[in-house]
Amino acid sequence: MNIDQVKRVYLLGIGGIGMSGLARYFHQLGCAVYGYDRTETELTAALVEEGMSIIYTDDVDRIPSDFVHPATENLIIFTPAVPKDLKIKQWFEQRGFDLFKRSEVLGLLSANRFTIGVAGTHGKTTTSTMIAHILKDSGYDCSAFLGGISSNYNTNVLFGENNVIVVEADEYDRSFLTLHPNIAVITSADADHLDIYGDRSHLIRSFELYLDRVVEGGKRIVKLGLPFVGDISYSREQAEAKAYARNIEIIDGDFYFDYVNGEMCIKGIKLGLPGLHNVENAVAAVTVAFLLGIDQEKVVVALANFKGVKRRFEYIVKSESHIYIDDYAHHPEELRAFLSSIKKLYPNKKLTVVFQPHLFSRTRDFVDGFAEVLAMADELLLMEIYPARELPIEGVDSQWLLDQVALENKRLVTPQEVLNIIEEEKPELVVTMGAGDIDRLVQPIKRILENNK
């Protein structure tokens, strides 16, 4: 596949955050972009508004006539999340089309570009978005394929004039092994996606293979404590790392820190995004920026005006009466990092946590971790498990998880019950967490709290 010859693109699962980024990329290049997804969302509506054509029924008769036969100008991209028996997918396969995963297309793009890949079981979306913002804001420039909507640019794909791309390197389904990174970052490697890997040892091996794909002369930036050999280690506060943060302070709700490596110390950096874990992400991002030779003053300015990523420590309501923060966290360690930062920011406020578990298998595999972390709440409202691509597992449900949380003020709730409780209790500090469809509650909760100042 010669990516430069493509004129028409069809994306199966176009509404996914990664797939929609590719849709926008090819649309920007002037390609005709079509797609299918199961349901209409705010994101698919935005793509249509931008000029793309999307259908929501599995109807082969609605495939454009330009795709009747395979051609070098036609590119078909699919996400593993779409069912194997999807009629549209089978239609393309039966007619001899080559179907490419999103990761394979990113691999083709990275083969002849200077690529910065950010991998990790958590932290990769914020870190890759932070790196891309520093490159954009400083004038260095880049294109970027992000796993979330950047709050600075209100999009998940950025377009640059140079040959540099920033890519969120996804370990799910070993997708990142198609990339050819010049700089590779690994933020974390906690056990996850065990439905794919079986156990953590196979996950670790996959990350090792990712590091092996770094091109000759490239750099590997790895968080201190991970079982990988990198060129540069980094940490939040551990001075054994080659790059680390120290003197972390919270001043008027903002995080400040000093960045230290073997060559320099930059004092009093203000981070536009809250969270102790985001200080650590910033250390990785600053390290990348200095490898590229970006002026440190420009890096400091970029970090101060970085607004983060939608659904990553995103303030929805911030008033004297109510604080409401939404986060995509869906792994115990993500929840731990998020809730620890919340409690450090607001130590004297009652914390109401609304959580929707994601996947039956993840809930089963990490039930002890979830139970331990959710006990950090003062009040827990636990929703049913969001199944995503999975069928139910006998004995694994939210009531089973709830029973193991050592907390008195806890209950199993429906989405409507969440809204009723928020309306009744008007909590001073509330967070919503999860990777399923819990984001549908964000605007209703916002309206309730804003109407009850």
Domain count, the chain: 3
The pTM score is 0.80
Contact 210/119 with Cβ under 8 angstroms?
yes
Closest by Cα among 58, 54, 62 to 34: 54
Structure letter (DSSP) for residue 253: T
Question: β-strand 351-355 against 429-433: which pairing, if any?
Answer: parallel
Identify whether residues 177 and 293 lie together within a single domain: yes
- Flag whether 108 is in a domain: no
- Residues 294, 302: Cα–Cα separation, whole Å: 11
Domain end among 44, 66, 100: 100
Where does residue 344 rank: exposed (0-12), middle (13-18), buried (19+ CB within 10 A)?
middle
- Cβ atoms of 282 and 237 closer than 8 Å: no
Q: Is residue 106 part of a domain?
A: no
Residue 121 lies in a domain: yes
The answer as to whether 66 is a domain residue is yes
CATH label of the domain that carries residue 223: 3.40.1190.10
**Torsion on CA atoms 138, 143, 149, 153, rounded to nearest 10:** 40
Question: Tokens standing for 17?
Answer: 């955050």
Domain match, 57 and 118 both: no
According to DSSP, residue 182 is labeled: S
Q: What share of the chain is helix, strand, coil (3-state, %, to 5)?
A: 35, 25, 40
SS3 318: strand
DSSP string, 396-453: -SHHHHHTTS--SSEEE--HHHHHHHHHHH--SEEEEE-SSSGGGGHHHHHHHHHT--
Say if 107 falls within a structural domain: no
d(CA 265, CA 244): 10
Residue 167 lies in a domain: yes
The predicted structure's pLDDT at residue 39: 87
Q: Same structural domain for residues 143 and 273? A: yes
Q: What is the pLDDT of residue 248?
A: 94
SS3 320: coil
- Strands 32-36 and 53-55 turn out to be parallel
Could you tell me the CATH number of the domain that includes residue 38? 3.40.50.720
The answer to whether residues 87 and 30 belong to one domain is yes
Kindly state whether residues 289 and 231 are assigned to the same domain. Answer: yes
pLDDT of amino acid 420: 97
- Considering the domain architecture, whether residues 238 and 347 belong to the same structural domain is answered as no
| Residues 362 and 415 grouped into a single domain | yes
**10-residue averages of pLDDT along the chain (453 residues):** 86 91 93 94 93 96 89 90 90 93 87 92 91 98 92 92 91 77 92 60 86 95 92 93 95 92 93 90 97 96 93 88 92 90 91 96 94 97 91 95 97 97 96 92 95 75
CB 98 within 8 A of CB 33: no
Per the DSSP assignment, residues forming a β-bridge with 34 are 10, 53
Q: Do both 292 and 365 map to the same domain? A: no
Q: Which of 304, 330, 345 is the last residue of a domain?
A: 304
Write the CB contacts of 348 (distance below 8 Å, at least 6 apart in sequence): none
DSSP 215: P
Q: Which domain holds residue 26?
A: 3-100
Q: What is the DSSP string of 330-389?
A: -SHHHHHHHHHHHHHH-TTS-EEEEE--B-HHHHHHTHHHHHHHHTT-SEEEEPPPB-TT
Residue 174 placed within a domain: yes
Q: What is the pLDDT of residue 378?
A: 97
Residue 411: name the closest of 424, 425, 429, 399 by CA: 399
Enter the tokens of residue 178.
């198609």
Given a contact cutoff of 8 angstroms between Cβ atoms, the answer to whether 308 and 127 are in contact is no
> Does residue 105 sit within a domain?
no
CATH number of domain containing 375:
3.90.190.20
Q: Record the tokens describing residue 94, joined without a space.
A: 């039966």
AA identity, residue 388: A
Contact 54, 35 (CB under 8 A): yes
Rounded Cα–Cα distance for residues 423 and 142 (Å): 45
Angstrom distance (rounded) from CA 186 to CA 183: 10
Residue 399 CB contacts under 8 Å (≥ 6 apart), including other chains = 412
Spatial separation of the C-alpha atoms in residues 61 and 91, rounded to whole Å: 10
Spatial distance between the Cα atoms of 405 and 401, rounded to a whole number of angstroms: 7
Q: Are residues 138 and 177 in the same domain?
A: yes
Tell me if 410 sits within 8 A of 380, measured CB to CB. yes
Distances from the Cα of 141 to the Cα of 27, 166, 294, 296, 394, angstroms = 20, 10, 11, 16, 50
User: Does 252 lie in the same domain as 217?
Assistant: yes
Q: Are residues 286 and 182 in the same domain?
A: yes
Q: Are residues 191 and 323 in the same domain?
A: no
